[in-house]
Amino acid sequence: MSSDSTGAAVTGAAKARAAVAPAFLLGMGLGGFVDGIVLHQLLQWHHMLTHTEAGGAKTVPGLELNTLADGMFHGAMWVLVAASAILTLRAGGSGTLSPEWAFHTGLVLLGWGVFNVLEGLVNHQLLGIHHVRDDLGGPLAWDLGFLALSAVLAAAGWLLYRTSAGRLPAGN
């Protein structure tokens, strides 16, 4: 059994609770970075505001607006990753980090999938500020495919997390 900075015993359940938020936030932040870097910058399928009147990507002012919006999006993802790092350091300092890689990986995948589902529902469907792809026609099919893959990612993460959480010893 490990102990925290005061010498108090830390159980497996306490380790698990302390590790949930950092790993989940890391998954959300990394999921956002993958979306922004891969879909926005490398593939250039869309930017944050490409489906808005002012944010069309075919003009210099539209690209400037999208560059600003993408930068703000990346800044928000950086805050999620930084919060994850701070929570990880706090948990590590108190001796409460979970020892299971599968536990952390599951939560990272869960966070990534949840981020994508939320982003897909809010930005693609509710606000309609961009779609996964507008250039090929039928953006709804791309949006639904993105949501389906994201749900599978979240479900796989949840299963990995729950399976590994069930293996944590109660007193270790």
Task: Give tens-digit pLDDT for 25-72.
Answer: 999 999 999 999 999 999 999 999 988 888 888 899 999 999 999 999
Question: Which residue would you say has higher pLDDT here, 90 or 152?
Answer: 152
Question: Which residue would you say has higher pLDDT here, 2 or 79?
Answer: 79
Q: Which residues contact 139 (CB under 8 A, 6 or more apart)?
A: 124, 131, 132, 133
Q: How much is the average pLDDT of 16-32?
A: 92
Give the pLDDT of residue 1.
47
Q: Tokens 């897909």 belong to which residue? A: 120
Task: Round to whole Å and give the CA distance between 66 and 73.
Answer: 10
Give the pLDDT of residue 97.
67
Q: Mean of the per-residue pLDDT values for the chain?
A: 88
Would you say residue 164 has pLDDT above 60? yes
Q: How much is the average pLDDT of 136-156?
A: 95
Q: How much is the average pLDDT of 132-140?
A: 87
